[in-house]
């Protein structure tokens, strides 16, 4: 790579990064600019592992591990969560570098293995603290609940992320900026996120002695459950030791039923991001008393006047085993249509990531706007809403016009004519 530019990673290194298995010698860098974008480079591996999970689940259970509507919804939410990073540098890094440049107390060596392992522990502990608070503070839960809204549990679910969450999580990392170089932090911030991808699966059962130290699929299944025994448990990112230390650990026991205690019953990615905030707003004004109004924001999502901070455990809905996931009846041709057109959006999105530095700001904004419009339209299609047809016609007309004018293009030039015909 050019001096000062991001380092390239070999496929083998990128694969090991998914499992936090790159040692200090292969993942230590002097400057932030040299740190590879491990998350972006992992997209092909995400797709590969999703395909592998589908194949294994079919072999094991004679059924796939997810549904088309929920899978498209999870991917849509994942794309939405990454779109702000196309326009702005990560708020995690901006705030961290600012504190490092202005307030650091001392500087640990960037190339020391001890610094590397200390940062691993620091980033994971900061994640545990943020993750736990995001379940226990209503305004933070309003963002984080997006990740828990799926009633399936598979690798698609790992990509279901909130647009808003990153704008509150950054502050938990700032103590490390007093002594840990930003380049080391930038590596572990990505590794901690990537590790959490593969644990969102049911095809891996137990991992023996590793269950005592690492966060595993079994532990994380509990975290995503709405069974009473699963609520507010297993907050760890890479390690499960924090939960064992602070009393939030729970082993997998009864069959886990996934999703929110009060399911949202929607595949609209925009609504899933904003409706919890609207609920807090309405509850805030409907609740009498200034202190009670503040409690609506800063106490748990189950809180109400006269209740403890986190609500009453007995109010958690009982699991009967007969719960049926939200699954509107949609014609098979509509599912095929949505899959094909979503593949086009994935192509446009990855092409945008690859060329954003050479595009005009207007073109970037147009592409982002079209991606958001498309994801909203797919959500309505998956719900078979009557207004989805009108929105989809508008979306296709916008695509044809923008494509003809050269504002959109595929990574694969040979698909250009096929796109025009398809739309």
Domain ranges in the chain are 14-246, 277-315, 332-411
Q: Is 274 helix (H, G, I), strand (E, B) or coil?
A: helix
Q: Is the dihedral of CA 321, 326, 329, 332 positive or negative?
A: negative
pLDDT means over runs of 10, the chain (423 residues): 64 92 96 93 92 93 88 96 85 95 97 98 98 97 96 96 92 97 97 97 95 98 97 97 98 95 94 94 95 96 94 91 91 93 92 89 93 96 91 92 83 66 67
d(CA 201, CA 268): 23
**Tens digit of each residue's pLDDT (9 = 90 or more) over 79-99:** 999 998 888 778 899 999 999
CB-based contact 142:298 (threshold 8 Å):
no
Predicted pLDDT of residue 2: 44
Helix (H) or strand (E) run with residue 45 in it? helix 43-61
Torsion-angle region of 82 (φ positive above 0: left; ψ -120 to 50: alpha; else: beta): alpha
CB atoms under 10 Å from CB of 280, counted, come to 17
Q: What is the pTM of this model?
A: 0.92
Of residues 242, 251, 246, 37, the one with CA closest to residue 123: 242
Question: Rounded to the nearest 10 degrees, what angle do helices 182-198 and 43-61 cross at?
Answer: 20
- Alpha carbon 366 to chain centroid distance? 24
- Alpha carbon 90 to chain centroid distance? 15
């Amino acid at each position: 790579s050019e001096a000062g530019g991001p380092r390239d990673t070999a496929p083998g290194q990128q694969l090991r990064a998914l499992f936090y298995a790159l040692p200090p010698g292969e993942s230590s860098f002097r400057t932030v600019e040299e740190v590879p974008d491990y998350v972006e480079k992992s997209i092909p591996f995400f797709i590969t592992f999703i395909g592998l999970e589908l194949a294994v689940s079919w072999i094991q259970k004679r059924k796939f591990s997810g549904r088309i509507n929920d899978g498209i919804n999870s991917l849509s939410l994942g794309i939405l969560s990454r779109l702000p990073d196309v326009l702005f540098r990560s708020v995690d890094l901006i705030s961290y570098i600012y504190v490092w440049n202005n307030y650091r107390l001392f500087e640990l060596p960037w190339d020391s293995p001890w610094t590397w392992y200390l940062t691993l522990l620091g980033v994971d502990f900061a994640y545990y603290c943020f993750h736990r608070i995001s379940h226990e503070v209503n305004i933070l839960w309003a963002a984080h609940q997006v990740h828990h809204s799926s009633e399936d549990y598979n690798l698609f679910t790992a990509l279901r992320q909130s647009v808003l969450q990153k704008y509150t999580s950054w502050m938990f990392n700032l103590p490390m900026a007093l002594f840990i170089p930003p380049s080391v932090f930038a590596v572990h911030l990505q590794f901690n996120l990537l590790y959490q991808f593969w644990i969102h699966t049911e095809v891996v059962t137990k991992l023996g002695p590793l269950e005592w130290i690492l966060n595993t699929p079994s532990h994380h299944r509990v975290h995503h459950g709405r069974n009473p025994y699963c609520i507010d448990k297993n907050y760890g990112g890479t390690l499960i030791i924090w939960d064992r230390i602070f009393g939030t650990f729970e082993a997998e026991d009864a069959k886990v039923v996934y999703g929110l205690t009060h399911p949202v019953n929607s595949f609209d990615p925009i609504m899933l991001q904003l409706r919890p905030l609207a609920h807090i707003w309405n509850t805030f004004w409907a609740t009498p008393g200034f202190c009670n109004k503040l409690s609506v924001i800063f106490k748990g999502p189950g809180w109400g006047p006269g209740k403890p901070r986190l609500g009453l455990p007995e109010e958690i809905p009982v699991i009967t085993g007969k719960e049926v996931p939200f699954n509107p009846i949609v014609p098979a041709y509509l599912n095929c249509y949505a899959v094909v057109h979503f593949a086009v959006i994935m192509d446009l999105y990855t092409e945008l990531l690859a060329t954003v530095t050479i595009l005009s700001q207007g073109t970037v904004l147009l592409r982002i706007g079209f991606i958001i419009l498309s994801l909203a339209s797919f959500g309505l299609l998956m719900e078979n809403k009557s207004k989805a047809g009108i929105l989809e016609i508008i979306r296709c007309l916008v695509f044809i016009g923008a494509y003809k004018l050269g504002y959109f293009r595929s990574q694969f030039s040979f698909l250009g004519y096929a796109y025009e015909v398809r739309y």
